[in-house]
Amino acid sequence: MTWQADIDELARRKAMAEAMGGPDAVAFHKGRGKLTVRERIDLLADPGTFSETGVLAGRPTWDGDRLESLTPANSVTGIVNVDGRKVVVHGGDFTIRGGSADGGVADKSGWAVKQAYSLRLPLVRLLDATGGSVRTFETMGRTYLPANDRVIDIELLQMVPCVSAVMGSVAGLPAVQAAMCHFNVMVKGTSQVFVAGPPVVKASQGVEISKEDLGNEDIQVRTSGVIANLAENEADALDQIRRFLSYLPSSVWDMAPRTEPTDDPDRREEALLDIIPQNPRRVYDSRKIIDMVLDRGSFFEIQPEFARSRVTGLARLDGYPVGVMANNPRYLGGSMDKAAGEKTARLLQLCDTFHLPLVYFCDEPGFMVGLEEEKKGIVRAGARIVSLLSLSRMPYLCFLTRQAYGVAGGLHYRGGTAMYRRYSWPSGNWGSMHIEGGVTAAYRREIDAAPDPEARRAEIEARLNALKSPFRTAHAFAVEDIIDPRDSRRLAVDFVRDAQRVLPSLLGDTSKIAYLP
């Protein structure tokens, strides 16, 4: 007597669950250019590593004691390996009731969160769900009072990497989950994110709007910044997730994984000698500096289409993961507007939470000025960045490549006892404000009283500009070292190697700047 009959029955029921919404629903879903949740998990995972939990959860139909059919829960969850490390994954199945809440069975999403929490593993959400549905009321026979019990989700952000991929139209709670993470990505042309969809907008405001106009990539990636990155297709989205996770430790109790370096730590790039134009009004490509100083090809940019005056992302130095940011003089002159402040804050919090050294290529002309930025609250954004940087503990390296003016320029520096290192290129210049604008304010009476006010203004500017040389600052030891830009990589590698002595003492839930969505 064996249990073979039960094993055969188990296989039959698993086959029912793996059929998802059935052939017609799956064909319709794929006809819209989308993968099924199981295909997505296969692309995310190392081959053959998916260990599913709750595969039999669903709504059964019985013929006496025999299971006639099974409508599986509209989500799939379990544990996979990504680059050899375990990751918890939860994905919505749009082929069953559009992934809505009334198509779920128990709380598989909650199970995934608890597993990530208890095992200290990264969490990946593959979101393809419409959120709540009024059909739920009929199923329950009553309405229910909304409640947000998300304490564990927020605590998880302080513990392990959390990633969200928007793989379709996402509304309600799944839309919030799209933002409740350290990194998120959506798919070009097939993904949308919104609090509530077009029917709700029409009912509440009388406005006809398509789901694309309400929450596509133009809205959520380029304008709001709710979603960090845009993928060309679903395979690209899943590849971006794998790449993002490759820079991060599995939890705050672990060191970030080092890859075997293939780039010469002493590489000197001749192009660094003239990449900063002599003419201060000319721009340059800050991403080229990143590529020349850090490990070649290692830069993974985050939010490239939002707040474009600041470039942020992850990269490697001598194989060690680091956070990277640089001003982008091609947009707003590199000034920090409110959006760039938000973008910078996220990177600071990410690096501090997961103990990644931060490298900054500073060319900061100051906070963006003007009525529109004041309306947006640029002052509060600036105060937030000052606070976050002051409290941060991650090792911090700054190269002053050109400008550092005002309070925003002061963000290149961190006081206190946390590891910090700073170098200036010969192109560096700095001050409380730009001489050209400051002269008019500081010397107004002298200029106005002169026979030729314009000539007097030019004379004063020339006199003060003669004091701008970084060598004068170095003579006073107000900047530590002025370097040949070609030595930047060697010094950066030395910094990241020294940081490895500091980082073990920071492991654990020790970040002072808690990561919040």
Domains of the chain, earliest start first: 4-246 (3.90.226.10), 270-425+483-506 (3.90.226.10)
pLDDT at position 161, please? 98
What torsion do the CA atoms of 186, 251, 99, 193 make, to the nearest 10 degrees? -30
Confidence band, pLDDT 50/70/90 cuts, at residue 338: very high
Question: Is residue 332 left, alpha or beta, with left meaning phi > 0 and alpha meaning psi from -120 to 50?
Answer: left
| CA 123 – CA 163 distance, rounded (Å) | 6
| CA 91 – CA 76 distance, rounded (Å) | 5
The DSSP code for 369 is: P
- Strand, helix or coil at 448? helix
pLDDT at position 148, please? 66
Average pLDDT over residues 256-272: 96
Which tokens go with 59? 């709504």
| CA 197 – CA 396 distance, rounded (Å) | 43
pLDDT at position 453, please? 77
Distances 55 to 15, 41, 51, 134 between C-alpha atoms, Å: 10, 14, 10, 26
Tell me: the pLDDT tens digits for 159-218? 999 999 999 999 988 999 999 999 999 999 999 999 988 888 888 898 999 999 999 999
CB atoms within 10 A of CB 347: 22
Res. 256: pLDDT tops 70:
yes
pLDDT at position 363, please? 96
Res. 271: pLDDT tops 60:
yes
pLDDT at position 135, please? 60
CB atoms within 10 A of CB 473: 19
Res. 297: pLDDT tops 90:
yes
Tell me: the pLDDT tens digits for 369-402? 999 999 999 999 999 999 999 999 999 999 999 9
pLDDT at position 80, please? 98
Half-sphere exposure of 79 (CA within 13 A, CB side): 13
CA nearest to 489, candidates 264, 261, 260: 264
| CA 504 – CA 508 distance, rounded (Å) | 9
Distances 6 to 11, 12, 53, 55, 84 between C-alpha atoms, Å: 9, 10, 19, 16, 33
In sequence order, the β-bridge partners of residue 63 are 66
pLDDT at position 105, please? 75
Confidence band, pLDDT 50/70/90 cuts, at residue 425: very high
| CA 435 – CA 405 distance, rounded (Å) | 10
CA nearest to 319, candidates 294, 339, 345, 342: 294
Lowest mean pLDDT across 181-195, 339-353, 467-481 = 467-481
- Cα dihedral sign for 199, 200, 203, 204? negative
Half-sphere exposure of 343 (CA within 13 A, CB side): 31
Confidence band, pLDDT 50/70/90 cuts, at residue 466: low
Average pLDDT over residues 206-232: 95
| CA 341 – CA 33 distance, rounded (Å) | 36
Lowest mean pLDDT across 39-48, 106-115, 180-189, 289-298 = 106-115
> Are the C-beta atoms of residues 99 and 74 closer than 8 Å to each other?
yes
More confident residue, 407 or 143: 407
The angle subtended at Cα 151 by Cα 145 and Cα 156, nearest 5°, is: 140
| CA 166 – CA 91 distance, rounded (Å) | 10
| CA 225 – CA 475 distance, rounded (Å) | 43
What torsion do the CA atoms of 513, 351, 166, 48 make, to the nearest 10 degrees? -130
- Provide the terminal-to-terminal Cα distance of the chain, rounded to the nearest Å: 56
Average pLDDT over residues 4-21: 91
Average pLDDT over residues 344-364: 97
pLDDT at position 186, please? 98
Average pLDDT over residues 154-160: 96
pLDDT at position 415, please? 87
Res. 70: pLDDT tops 70:
yes
Most distant CA pair in the chain, distance: 112
What DSSP string runs through 398-434?
A: EEEEEEEEHHHHGGG---SSS-EEEEE-TT-EEESS-
| CA 408 – CA 381 distance, rounded (Å) | 10
**Range with top average pLDDT, 88-102, 203-217, 452-466:** 203-217
- Strand, helix or coil at 89? strand
pLDDT at position 455, please? 76
Res. 20: pLDDT tops 60:
yes
pLDDT at position 137, please? 61
Burial class, 410, CB count within 10 angstroms (exposed 0-12 / middle 13-18 / buried 19+):
middle
Over the chain, what is the mean pLDDT? 91
Res. 433: pLDDT tops 70:
no
Res. 4: pLDDT tops 60:
yes
pLDDT at position 145, please? 56
Tell me: the pLDDT tens digits for 116-149? 999 999 999 999 987 665 566 666 666 655 656 6
| Phi, psi of 148, deg, nearest 5 | -110, 95
